[in-house]
Amino acid sequence: MTVDIRPAGDADDAVLLEIDFATWTQAVSPAPAPTREDRTSFFDDRTDRENYLVAEADGRVLGYVLVHQNIPLPSHQHVLGINGLAVDPSAQGRGVGRALVEAAVAEAARRGASKVALRVLGENPGARRLYERCGFVVEGVLRGEFVMDGKLVDDVLMARYL
Radius of gyration of the chain (CA): 15
Mean pLDDT value of segment 60-80: 96
> Domains in the chain, please, with CATH?
4-161 (3.40.630.30)
- Is the confidence at residue 161, as pLDDT, over 90? yes
pLDDT (tens digit per residue) in 20-51: 999 998 888 998 888 899 889 999 877 788 99
pLDDT band at 92 (very low <50, low <70, confident <90, very high): very high
User: Counting Cβ atoms within 10 Å, is residue 71 exposed (0-12), middle (13-18) or buried (19+)?
Assistant: exposed
DSSP 8-state code for residue 19? H
